[in-house]
Amino acid sequence: MSAASLSAKAEPSRRSLLKAAGLAGAAFMVPLSGCGATSGAHNGITTLRFMQNKPEVVAYFNQVIKDFEALNPDIRVIQDFNEGNFVPGLVRNDPPDVVTRGFAQATADFVKKGIFADLSDMPVAASIDPKMQDLVASWGQYNGSEISALPFSLAAAGVIYNRDIFEAKGVAVPTTWDEFIAACETFKAAGIAPIYGTFKDNWTLGQGLFDYVAGGSLDVAGFFAKLTAKGAAISPDAAESFTNNFAPALPKMLQLASFSQKGAASKNYADGNAAFAKGQAAMYLQGPWALSQLVAANKNVRLGSFPLPVTNNPADTKARVNVDMALSITRNTPNMAAAQRFVNYLLEPSVVNAYNEKNAAYSPLKDAPAVENPQISGLNTSVRDGRYYQGATTYFPPSVPLYNYVQSFVYTQNGEQFLAALDDEWRRVAERTAV
């Protein structure tokens, strides 16, 4: 039978394949064992590990690092964007030396545990706008007064609008709620969707509609401070409850939702970016992170931003901000001096201002020049005057499925149930975490 001869042929090929694999493996091992880079000082050169939280700006920071190394030949910086390795780094007791993080609940947990060094005696800390520093401090400070992070980039979000559509319909940027509603009605009458809704991605409802209306109509930080102070003993009837504070804002949220295009429930964030860039709606409730996607989808689109007016007093209008990147140094780093030099360099006006101008964000420096980017410059006055808030959604612990609640509120329009659910969730978390 020919099977035997065939098998004889098959056999060596299998063995040689394994042999080739083994040889190849041995070949890989040689270069790999040679280039293991660890942080620390060798031959007078200090190696810093820099963990950075935004994968999309890795290339930008590579250039920044190159410039820094040219000025500081005794320091080498390795950039790492694998944020998932931060906690393992702490477990190994070998965390990165310099860290940037988006500043909210999760990062605040690290701060409260004293993971980060106190930066208050760094001279560069004095050049930061104190209002922006307060945003970081608002999440809690280690030992009551330490500065664990210096803001590097502030993202301000409002309503992104299509300048061409606004000009074609003769609509000016609204400064009051009534003007805003009138503008929506104008677009609707002209057959243009006033707002592009992407309800399928529930976070877009949370950060847009919910945060904007809540932030514009009540003092979010004050509300959560009082609510937290009340602890687990919170009931829906209490003066501090969601029911008693958010109720007046809810009709406006629903009104906003009603100005979305037909079929918003089946559109996600990516759909929204593609459609809005092609002029399928006049306004889009998104922050600066969407701008690069919009321009990528249509490089000729002319965009602007304005803070959503939620009352009829223009002085009340505020922008939603978040500290997109904040610089920290881990407390136990053996390379404290080098890490401080690197942080100092990153916060030099030429570096930090250039980064923020390039990435449609606001520099944290007191004397930063006004943003010229026409896509976001409509938010300049709000940011300069400190009329901003951190989104209400960011105050919730991740265990509360807030976005789902917001989404079901928009679909069912049952505000009472929505707020009762929030009160209930908040109380349960407070009971669990009470000391």
Partner 1 sequence: MTTSTLPEPIAGAPAPAGSRTGSRTGINTRSETQSETGINTRSETQSETGIRTGFRSPGSGPAGQTRRSNREGFKINWWLTALMLAASLTVLLPLYFTVAMALKSPDQISGTGLAWPNPMNWENFAAAYVATDFPRAFMSTAFVTVFSVLGALACSSLVAYAIARNWNRKFFRGSFVYLLSAMFIPFPVIILPLIKQTALLGLDNPAGVVFLHVLGGISFNTLLYIAFVRSIPVELEESARMDGATTWQVFRKIIFPLLAPMNATVGIFAFLGSWNDFLLPQMMIADPALQTLPVVQMLFQGEFNTNYSLAFASYLMAMAPTLVVYILAQRWVLSGVMRGAVK
Spatial distance between the Cα atoms of 392 and 6, rounded to a whole number of angstroms: 71
Is residue 41 near partner 1 by the rule CB under 8 A?
no
Using CB under 8 A, which residues numbered 91 to 120 contact partner 1? 91-94, 102
Nearer to partner 1, 58 or 233 (CB): 58
In the shown chain, the binding pattern of residues 299 to 338 toward partner 1, with x for contact by CB under 8 A and - for none, equals: x---------------------------------------
The DSSP secondary-structure symbol of 427 reads: H
Please identify which residue in 42, 66, 113, 278 interacts with partner 1, judged by CB under 8 A.
278
* Binding of residue 290 to partner 1 (CB under 8 A): yes
Q: Which of 12, 88, 114, 231 binds partner 1 (CB under 8 A)?
A: 88
14 lines the binding site for partner 1 (CB under 8 A): yes
Q: Which is closer to partner 1, CB of 263 or CB of 369?
A: 263
Size of the site for partner 1 (CB under 8 A): 59
Q: Candidates 17-25, 223-231, 333-341, 400-408: pick the segment binding partner 1 (CB under 8 A).
A: 17-25
Establish if 73 lies at the interface with partner 1 (CB under 8 A).
Answer: no
28 binds partner 1 per the rule CB under 8 A: yes
Helices (H) and strands (E) in the chain, counts: 19, 11
Select the residue interacting with partner 1 from 122, 218, 225, 274 (CB under 8 A): 274
Query: Quick one: 25 or 170, whose CB is closer to partner 1?
Result: 25
Which of 317, 313, 329, 184 lies closest to 261, judged by CA?
Answer: 184
Nearer to partner 1, 91 or 435 (CB): 91
Q: Residue 106 CB, nearest distance to partner 1 (Å)? A: 12
Question: Please, which contacts does 58-61 make with residues 24 or more away whose CB atoms are closer than 8 Å?
Answer: 60/355, 60/358, 60/359
Region 155-214 residues binding partner 1, contact defined as CB under 8 A: none
On whether the CB atoms of residues 326 and 128 are closer than 8 A, the answer is: no
* Neighbouring C-beta atoms of residue 351, cutoff 10 Å: 17
Residue 233 CB, nearest approach to partner 1 (Å): 34
User: Closer CB to partner 1, residue 29 or residue 126?
Assistant: 29
Instruction: Report the C-alpha gap between 391 and 109 in whole angstroms.
Output: 18
Distance CA 213, CA 224 (A): 16
**What's the gap between Cα 280 and its chain centre?**
26
DSSP states along 184-204: HHHHHHTT-EEE---TTSHHH
CB 98 within 8 A of CB 64: no
Which of 36, 73 has the CB closer to partner 1?
36
**402-429: b or e for each residue (b if 16 or more CB lie within 10 Å)?**
bbebbbbbbeeeebeebbebbbebbbee
The answer to whether residue 63 forms part of the interface with partner 1 (CB under 8 A) is no
CA distance 232 to 434: 7
The binder of partner 1 chosen from 16, 19, 21, 332 (CB under 8 A): 21
Side-chain half-sphere CA neighbours of 195 within 13 A: 27
Question: Is there binding between residue 408 and partner 1 (CB under 8 A)?
Answer: no
Summarize as ranges the residues that interact with partner 1 (CB under 8 A): 1-7, 9-11, 14, 17, 21-22, 24-25, 28-29, 31-32, 35-38, 49, 54-56, 58-59, 78-82, 84-85, 87-89, 91-94, 102, 269-270, 274-275, 278, 287, 289-290, 292-293, 296-299
